[in-house]
Amino acid sequence: MKMRVLTNWFVLVVFAFLLSACSQESKVIALSGNTMGTTYHIKIMPGKKAIDGKALQVRIDKALEAVNDQMSTYRPDSELSRFNQMSSHNTINVSPDTVKVINEAIKLYKITDGALDITVGPLVNLWGFGPDKRPVTEPTQAEIDKQKARTGIQYIQIDGTRLGKTHDDLYVDLSSIAKGFGVDKVAALLDEYQPQGYLVEVGGEIRLKGTKDDHQAWRIAVEQPSEEGVAVQQVITPGDMSMATSGDYRNYYEEDGQQFSHLIDPRTGYPIKHRLASVTVLNKDCMVADGYATAMMVLGTKAALALAKRENLAIMLIEKRDDGFKVFYSDAFKPYVSVK
Ligand code: ADP
Ligand code: MG
């Protein structure tokens, strides 16, 4: 949902992998386009039902447009923007999809001890990573306190599909989870065609099903987190799962040699600052994987691994050390690690 200034190299690695595995006679349909300030790539292997690629892409674009119209903070007339603009005296009726995503985010807020907080928007904007402009100088403590006072999940009220708020200045930002939801939406659409398999990717978040055209399982390369160059850290075989990756090494800005992350710790109001460089989360639903990936980055290595253990989550963490990278897997992740 936000503009990404830098190319998503992670995705390039994935597709380089796929290309090498594609045969000449392949009936695979490959579609790509733009959405949510980023790109999407889809590969679908038809099953018995024939698929008209052009007609399918029209449906996909429509589905992704609908998610933008529901949840983008970059669109002033989206459902979410209209909710953000209204006062606490009003309520607004929104789509079941928007309510579903907000409910999931609230659930994840509780499970992650507040690391994922969709009301953190004012702080995201203050630090220059929202639809507003990037700040010229680092905000003062007073400014941070002022914006932090506007945050709090308890200010959101949900009654069926009607949303209300108990704080006039509440501002909800679904960027951390909406891309994953978009992937789930497209996957559900593809399921209607009963395909042999597919790969859906939006801005680096992925959902997989079935097999590739050569009847082999999908293999996904997780990139080594570095600012320049592309190197594969690990190849994984997720099966019929979703995979989300959150990283801090390309989406940041620098001031006086200091780097500021686009992820904010809602508990302090400051951008995160630790050695954890990338998090990969596997989950059935991409929305859930996406939300967890952001939360795990905020939590840092120790708390992320503890949470993964408690909730039996499949996660892979890459820490940047002076002498290279250190990789951590939760127990639930280990079965997905491919042996080359
Ligand atoms: P990544 O793919 O790097 O995890 P996402 O795109 O999933 O990033 O989510 C990052 C976006 O979520 C930020 O640009 C910001 O709009 C918002 N955000 C930042 N910090 C948080 C947080 N702690 N909880 C929820 N949303 C956040
Ligand atoms: Mg995320």
Nearest residue (CA) to ligand 1, atom 3 = 246
Residue-level pLDDT at 299? 97
70 CB near ligand 1 (under 6 Å): no
The rounded Å distance from CA 8 to ligand 1 centre is: 15
The rounded Å distance from CA 27 to ligand 2 centre is: 32
Confidence of residue 237 (pLDDT cuts 50, 70, 90): very high
330 CB near ligand 1 (under 6 Å): no
Confidence of residue 16 (pLDDT cuts 50, 70, 90): very low
Tell me: the pLDDT tens digits for 286-313? Answer: 999 999 999 999 999 999 999 999 999 9
> Helix, strand, coil shares of the chain as percentages rounded to 5?
35, 25, 40
Tell me: the pLDDT tens digits for 219-229? Answer: 998 888 776 66
Confidence of residue 64 (pLDDT cuts 50, 70, 90): very high
Contacts of 316 (CB under 8 A, 6+ apart): 222, 234, 236, 279, 280, 327, 328, 329, 330, 333
The stretch 45-65 carries a mean pLDDT of 96
The rounded Å distance from CA 150 to ligand 1 centre is: 17
The stretch 327-331 carries a mean pLDDT of 96
Tell me: the pLDDT tens digits for 187-198? Answer: 999 999 999 999
Render 132-156 in DSSP notation, one character per residue.
SPPPSSPPPHHHHHHHHTT--GGGE
The rounded Å distance from CA 50 to ligand 2 centre is: 34
Tell me: the pLDDT tens digits for 125-178? Answer: 999 888 876 666 789 999 999 999 999 999 999 999 999 999 999 999 999 999
293 CB near ligand 1 (under 6 Å): yes
Q: Which atom of ligand 1 is nearest to the CA of 121?
A: 16
Class of the CATH domain delimited by 72-165: mainly alpha
Q: Which atom of ligand 1 is nearest to the CA of 73?
A: 16
d(CA 115, CA 25): 47
pLDDT at 21 over 80: no
β pairing state of 29-35 and 38-45: antiparallel
Is the whole-model pTM more than 0.75?
A: yes
| Largest distance between two CA atoms of the chain | 63
Residue-level pLDDT at 252? 56
The stretch 231-258 carries a mean pLDDT of 79
* Cβ atoms within 10 Å of 47's Cβ, excluding its own: 13
pLDDT at 18 over 80: no
Give whole-number Cα distances, 32 to 19, 175, 188, in Å.
14, 21, 17
Q: Which atom of ligand 1 is nearest to the CA of 115?
A: 23
The rounded Å distance from CA 126 to ligand 1 centre is: 14
Nearest residue (CA) to ligand 1, atom 22 = 116
Residue to substitute in 73, 175, 272 for testing ligand 1 pocket (most ligand atoms within 8 angstroms of CB): 175
The rounded Å distance from CA 176 to ligand 2 centre is: 4
Q: Which protein residues have a CB closer than 5 Å to ligand 2 (ion)?
A: 176, 290, 293-294
